Chains A and B, each alone.
Chain A
Amino acid sequence: MKIAVCVKQIPDPATPYTLDPATHFVVRPAEQVLDDTDRYGIELGLQLAEATSGSVTLVSMGPAGNLQGIRQALAMGADKAVVVSDPALRGSGAAVTARVLAAAIAREGFDLVVTGTESTDGYSGVMPQMLAELLDLPALTFARKVSLEGTTIRVERQTAAGYDEVESALPVLISVTSGAVEPRYPTFKGIMQAKQKPVDQPTVADLGLDAAAVGAAGSGQSITAVRPAPERAGGVKIKDEGEAHLEIIKVLERTKVI
């Protein structure tokens, strides 16, 4: 089975990102990491590839930087990566990103597309469904458990109230929640091999897309203001010396909880 997994490189979340004051775009350092939540999609892809003697191709859009995040993903065991990185893409909205990823995935060919449910930095949370529509696929979204039987994929789909059992025949797109699988740690061998694995970096033109229709201009949206949120009035902080529960009770009384 040929599996495409969408992964994203993001600025290290340990250092909060900043916005360019002029363009309001997120400032992206050369050193980027793999979005932690993508490890679940990669793991699922690897498990299904192992079960079917298939392959896993990573698909990503964004400034390539030094490809550190992509190498992290390859080190887990994926076979190769396609990173669409083109200055024309600066400022692309979610809809443009979806068109670019769909074109890259279609060019590779696939039986299964795997994504996360939302990215850590962008969290539009609508990318998987946009991709499915553009690729004319059913989408088994918010999967917290996945099984493959022949050519039928079954998932437990998280809902607000619990979960639904949902199924579809291949080809299909799955968006996987964190916790659905236990991501493997890269081995030393995996890390060494990742350095040699092919990373294809097509431009927008290579994918047959019009550069004028992507990037900020093609996104139909523009940031008009960035401002600090109104701050919460500061509270009190106490150290528990054995009696702190009494202070909590005072607050519960004051707020008429008890």
Chain B
Amino acid sequence: MKIFVFAELNTAGPSTISLEMLTKARNLGGEVAAFAVGAGSDAAFATLGAHGATTVHHLDPGDALPAAAAAAALAGLVGDGDLVFFGLTQTDRDVAGRLAARTGAAVLSNAVDVKVEGGSVGVVNEILGGSTLVETEFTGSGPRLVVVRPKSFTAEAGAAAQPQVHTVPVPDTGRSGAARITARHAEESQGPSLADAAVIVSGGRGLGSAEKFGLVGELAGILGAAVGATRAVVDSGWVPYSVQVGQTGKTVKPSVYIACGISGAMQHLVGMKDSTTIIAINKDEEAPIFAVADLGVIGDVHQVLPKLIQALKAR
């Protein structure tokens, strides 16, 4: 069994999730190859190597949306019984879907763990907001595709090793590969990034308005924390999608997560419940967020946050 790890290459190097998955693949043992897509560099390949890839297949699709070409190229590389890891990110999901359709392979999504025992491969999923775990095994033939939730594994570089790099020619995918990227925009907020922050201050609809959401930013500023948000406020346009935490946003594991005016819907909980310490402020004493909070404050964010900010400023 060979393990392939999909690695999207960004300007900053391989995606974080690809390094998490490579570390897991390396620990599972066997032969590990990265399938890297995007503008490559020796530094990026070396990073993939250090995390466990002995081989890197590199495809640069230029300004084409990469999924069709990447799936076509991968289909030619993966064999019966091989494991292929993707992250639960936009581009990874696009490629996983197309590869599954092309090869007829089963794809297990939203995995938080992968188990290989003898010949069998299974994944663990969290359902119902993470309260229940489901284990599913692959039973058929063909490659086995797994889509992994970010932060399920910890990325650890091993000994530096330059991998063998093979350049993959861009396959002609005809009509399905016809989508083009005409411009790219970054919307990162200021301060530490959500993915790496040790402290996150996150706000929900309970803040009441985009203007009042400023309290979240202010507290984050004082604590050197990153700002997070629920989908409800992202959909309302108060903050950009890049700060959304949860099932369809980012998965975070900071040492402290402060949830302000957040109900604690299942789709939010799966993205933050593994934070080391959780503080929640909500005026509804029945709010589900309190079930995961180490300190739950039943109160009004418009009372508690200004006082907290004031007290911290006075220190």
Contact = CB atoms under 8 A, between A and B. Distances in A.
A179 interface: yes
Contacts of A128: 97
Given A126-B147, A164-B185, A227 B132 contact: yes
7 contacts: A95-B107, A125-B147, A136-B175, A138-B176, A238-B298, A242-B307, A244-B281
A244 B306 CA distance: 12
Given A136-B175, A141-B67, A240-B304, 19 more contacts: A123-B110, A124-B147, A126-B100, A126-B109, A126-B147, A127-B97, A128-B97, A133-B176, A141-B65, A163-B185, A172-B179, A219-B106, A221-B137, A239-B299, A240-B299, A247-B295, A247-B297, A251-B256, A258-B223
A165 interface: yes
Interface in B279-303: 279, 281, 285, 290-300, 303
Contact of B308 (A17, A165, A248): A248
Contact count band on A: 35 or more
Contact of A167 (B104, B136, B182): B182
Task: Identify whether the interface residues of A are mostly helix, strand, loop, or mixed.
Answer: mixed
A134 interface: yes
Contacts of A246: 311
A252 B138 contact: no
A120 to B, nearest CB: 8
A8 interface: no
Nearest to B225: A257
Interface of B: 10, 15, 65, 67-68, 71, 88-91, 93-98, 100-102, 104-110, 122, 126, 128, 130-142, 147, 174-188, 198-199, 223, 231, 234-237, 240-242, 247-248, 250, 255-256, 258, 273, 276-279, 281, 285, 290-300, 303-304, 307-308, 311-312, 315
Contact of B139 (A220, A226, A242): A220
B100 to A, nearest CB: 5
A123 B246 CA distance: 13
Contacts of A235: 278, 290, 293-296
B297 to A, nearest CB: 4
Given A235-B295, A252-B256, A162 B101 contact: no
A166 B180 contact: yes
Contacts of B291: 232
Nearest to A134: B101
B288 to A, nearest CB: 11
A160 B94 CA distance: 14
A223 B133 CA distance: 11
Query: What 9 pairs across the A-B complex have the smallest Cβ distances?
Result: A129-B97, A240-B299, A220-B140, A220-B106, A162-B187, A126-B97, A133-B101, A179-B235, A235-B294
Interface string A103-141: 000000000000001100001111111111110111111
Contact of B297 (A144, A163, A164, A248): A248
B200 to A, nearest CB: 11
Given A117-B248, A125-B109, A229-B130, A252 B97 contact: no
Nearest to A161: B186
A134 B308 CA distance: 55
Given A138-B179, A221-B139, A124 B298 contact: no
B75 to A, nearest CB: 10
A26 B94 CA distance: 26
Nearest to A155: B179
Contact of A138 (B139, B178, B295, B304): B178
A225 B277 contact: no
Interface string A228-258: 1100100111111010111111011001011
Interface of A: 16-17, 19, 24, 93-95, 98, 117-118, 123-134, 136-142, 144, 154, 157-169, 172, 177-179, 219-229, 232, 235-240, 242, 244-249, 251-252, 255, 257-258
Given A142-B90, A166-B180, A229-B126, A240 B297 contact: yes
A225 B134 contact: yes
B183 A164 contact: yes
A42 B155 CA distance: 40
Contacts of B299: 239-240, 244
A177 B248 CA distance: 10
A221 B136 contact: yes
Nearest to A26: B127
A157 B184 CA distance: 9
Contact of B185 (A162, A237, A251): A162
A130 B100 contact: yes
A219 B235 CA distance: 35
B100 A224 contact: no
Contact of A249 (B96, B142, B184, B308): B308
Contacts of A130: 97-98, 100-101
A19 to B, nearest CB: 8
